[in-house]
Amino acid sequence: MASPLWQAVLGEIEVTIPRASFATWFKNTTLVKSDGQEVVIGVPNVFTKRQLEEKYQSLLEQTLHKNGLQPEKITFTIHQETQLQKDGRTNEPAPVETTQKRQTGQQRQTDWSVKPKSRSNTSNLNSKYTFDNFVVGAGNELAYAASQAIVKNPGEKYNPLFIYSGVGLGKTHLIQAIGNEMFRKNPDICIECITSERFTKEFIASTLQKKTFSDKYRSADVLIVDDMQFIAGKEKTEEEFFHTFNALHQANKQIIISSDQPPNSIPTLEERLRSRFEWGMTADIQPPDLETRMAIIQSKAHQHQTNIPGDVSEYLATHIRSNIRELEGALTKVLAHCEMSGQTPSIPVVEQVLGSSQSKRHRLTQKQIVEKTARYFNVTPHEIMSARREKTVSQPRQISMYLLRNELHLSFPAVAKAVGRKDHTTAIHSVSKIEQSIAEDASMRQTVQQVKEQLYA
């Protein structure tokens, strides 16, 4: 059973360090033992052991501490079970070569009907995202139906499939579920799943090394691109992707795209890409209603092999509305607490575990976010609201917008208004710029984290 405590620790580490590092060093770890004195972490091999000991010891200590553990020592053991978890499929986000099925040059025809033969064709899909554990409600019905249709008739009706929604509402889950289901039905097809950030990075790396860009995406049967918004404004990468898209589309290969906005709202997306994204099917995911949120909690609890009483799941679902990732995080915290303290989940326990952070969050106002961000950067709120464009002012302004959006879940027009702007596209652009910097730049990640701590200090 996956330990909720360890899930909570991993969840926090995942958002603190670069994605690739997390996937390489933390993903296949388990909690072998934890008591007041010692925490033993199971790792798959000696490389991971060494890396965690040398580089991540203090991060682990801090994160364990945050989750209520202060062991005297942390040790690592090479753990059999951790190795066995890899059942022949990789979960790592780094793209895995699947060359044996590939032909360069002309696109081969895909025989979508081939029956399963072997599981030799791997792809970097995360097997935890399936249709089975995706809860369908009014907000995601259309996107779900379109996803199912694609599995039945790939490369035909809905090509591309473009799914968009706000953060934490299930885009990644759904598009990966499509890939997993297609792979299950036909392990011989070649599925490439990648974020647009990674596509960009690989493309830039190939340019710097003066190599031709890998043709692996052009020769996939199914190309899944997550978080397409990050490609916007990167002209050369957009051009490369445009050609990839055309090659695949012409050969009736299935293309699946996710983004935080519909194609016509992504700022600075090249027109020809925008129009292609609208060729097929566009479906949005709306925030789930109360019943769906409760069903999701039950489903997640089930994955942790526990049950949550109805009143507790209702309490959680009533208090956390905007984002499923947050809902899941709250549940994980509650389960971790129960695991450590030997209590069963109940409303008083939930209040105890989440109470303080929830109520603090409620007390925070728009004005405070702007003021506290300004203070952190030694500028005045007046300057943030002004038209000044120097970086010393514009960056705190962008970070304010990012925090207004993420901490208070304001709409983009409201975010813009809170910093004295009329045009909501400014807010969209600023928020996505900070999101991107956080993903790419550790010092930015740290800065934003520190500002956030000030907000709730």
Min. distance of Cβ 175 from Mg ion in angstroms? 8
Contact residues toward Mg ion (CB under 5 A) are: 171-172
Q: What is the DSSP letter of 280?
A: S
Which DSSP string do the residues of 145-210 spell out, in sequence order? HHHHHHHHSTTSSSSSEEEE-STTSSHHHHHHHHHHHHHHH-TTS-EEEEEHHHHHHHHHHHHHTT
Q: Which of 123, 124, 126, 172 binds ligand ADP (CB under 6 A)?
A: 172
Give the total of residues touching ligand ADP (CB under 6 A).
17
Assess 325 for contact with ligand ADP (CB under 6 A): yes
* Residue 23 neighbours by CB under 8 Å, 6+ apart: 91, 92, 93, 94
Site for ligand ADP in 358-417 (CB under 6 A): none
Residue 253 interacts, among ligand ADP, Mg ion, none and using kind-specific CB cut-offs from 5 to 8 Å, with none
Q: Which of 49, 79, 173, 234 binds ligand ADP (CB under 6 A)?
A: 173
Assess 328 for contact with ligand ADP (CB under 6 A): yes
Task: Please tell me whether residue 278 adopts helix, strand or coil conformation.
Answer: coil
Site for ligand ADP in 128-147 (CB under 6 A): 133-135, 140
Spatial distance between the Cα atoms of 135 and 170, rounded to a whole number of angstroms = 10
Strands 38-43 and 30-34: antiparallel
- Cα torsion 420, 424, 429, 435: sign: positive
Strands 191-195 and 161-164: unpaired
Q: Which is nearer to ligand ADP, 177 or 416 (CB)?
A: 177
Q: Which of 296, 369, 416, 428 binds ligand ADP (CB under 6 A)?
A: 296
Q: Which is nearer to Mg ion, 27 or 171 (CB)?
A: 171
Assess 168 for contact with ligand ADP (CB under 6 A): yes
223 C-beta neighbours (distance < 10 Å), count: 28
Assess 299 for contact with ligand ADP (CB under 6 A): yes
Residue 299 interacts, among ligand ADP, Mg ion, none and using kind-specific CB cut-offs from 5 to 8 Å, with ligand ADP
Q: Residue 162 in contact with residue 277, Cβ under 8 Å?
A: yes
* Residue 430 neighbours by CB under 8 Å, 6+ apart: 397, 398, 401, 402
Residue whose tokens read 């695991």: 339
Here the tokens at position 435 are 């999101």
Min. distance of Cβ 123 from Mg ion in angstroms? 17
Min. distance of Cβ 226 from Mg ion in angstroms? 6
Residue with the shortest CB distance to ligand ADP: 170
Assess 171 for contact with ligand ADP (CB under 6 A): yes
Residue 170 interacts, among ligand ADP, Mg ion, none and using kind-specific CB cut-offs from 5 to 8 Å, with ligand ADP
Q: Which is nearer to ligand ADP, 43 or 334 (CB)?
A: 334
Binding site for ligand ADP (CB under 6 A): 133-135, 140, 165, 167-173, 296, 299, 324-325, 328
